[in-house]
Amino acid sequence: TKRITVLTLQNIYREKGKIAALTCYDATFAAVLENAGVDILLVGDSLGNVIQGQASTLPVTLDEMIYHVCCVERGTHSVFILADMPFGTFQVSPQEAFRNAVRLMAAGAQMVKVEGGRHMAETIEFLTCRGIPVCAHIGLIPQSVHQLGGYKIQGKTPDGARQLLEDALLLQKAGAAMLVMELIPAALGEEITRSLSIPTIGIGAGAVCSGQVLVLHDMLGISSGTLPRFVKNFMAGADSIQVAVRNYVKAVKTGEFPAHEHMF
């Protein structure tokens, strides 16, 4: 089989299907997730928390991201691979962002993800015009945790919501191929999704998104500490990881997940 492309994702979106994404950091899980029908594997900088035991994603380096992209790429042959640009590798200039994105693409990523609102528009346009598809990421952006003052829901005030909608429109205009929305009210996730013509992938952003993503270890119920409300443990009631992931894919595709208790 050939690897699915950005066109496959656009087709799912155009036909009003839902995109099922999960984070993934290694070859073995990557193969399991691919076989279970996951559309996108996000090699997220959440690997700082999940794999490295860090308190935040800030310490994750580009070399570490490249290592994990290579692992996921080797374990798969058809799934779409999205890779996070880690903190500090894309904020300084569009040129530097391009140079660093090239290394993730060379490792096997098919699209890179950058956190941030309208200030990332110039960088997204620079990369997109030069052949690198970009996924934007707004709402709770974990690389800015020290500025946000914690992992709090974003866009709760009318002004905050309006700014996030404007960000989404500006990033789409800049050429973003996809948009991750993290930890925002369900009503805002719906408004942004309906306002855009690119797929939105929600995590704690309600049900009316073009797709959903969760951190793999969270949905398998093996993360330590208290989990955010938007997480569902798919191992509960499943007798294997394969079944849990299949149930996740099914729940996303049918719109069963997220349910009301996973929204804000």
Site residues (vs ligand KIV, CB under 6 A): 23, 42, 44-46, 84, 180, 182, 203, 213, 215
Chain residue at closest Cβ approach to ligand KIV: 44
Please, what is the minimum distance in Å from the beta carbon of residue 150 to ligand KIV? 16
Q: Which of 103, 37, 18, 42 is nearest to 246 (CA)?
A: 37
- What residues does 153 pair with on adjacent strands? none
Please, what is the minimum distance in Å from the beta carbon of residue 203 to Na ion? 10
Pick the closer one to ligand KIV by CB: 2 or 39. 39
User: Judged by CB under 5 A, which of 25, 34, 39, 45 binds Na ion?
Assistant: 45
Q: Which of 194, 207, 130, 199 is nearest to 165 (CA)?
A: 194
Pick the closer one to ligand KIV by CB: 85 or 237. 85
Site for Na ion in 72-91 (CB under 5 A): 84
β-strand 200-203 against 134-139: which pairing, if any?
A: unpaired
Binding mask 140-179 for Na ion (x = CB under 5 A): ----------------------------------------
Respond yes or no: is residue 182 known to be catalytic: yes
Backbone angles phi, psi at 196, to 5 degrees: -100, 160
Please, what is the minimum distance in Å from the beta carbon of residue 1 to ligand KIV? 26
Can you tell me the distance from the alpha carbon of 95 to that of 8, in angstroms, rounded to the nearest whole number?
Answer: 29
Of the CA atoms within 13 Å of residue 251, those in its CB half-sphere come to: 22
Can you tell me the distance from the alpha carbon of 196 to that of 102, in angstroms, rounded to the nearest whole number?
Answer: 27
Q: Does 44 bind Na ion (CB under 5 A)?
A: yes
Please, what is the minimum distance in Å from the beta carbon of residue 203 to ligand KIV? 5
Largest interatomic CA distance in the chain: 48
Q: Does 39 bind Na ion (CB under 5 A)?
A: no
Select which of 34, 182, 190, 256 is catalytic. Answer: 182
Write the CB contacts of 149 (distance below 8 Å, at least 6 apart in sequence). none
Pick the closer one to Na ion by CB: 84 or 191. 84
- What positions carry a catalytic annotation? 182
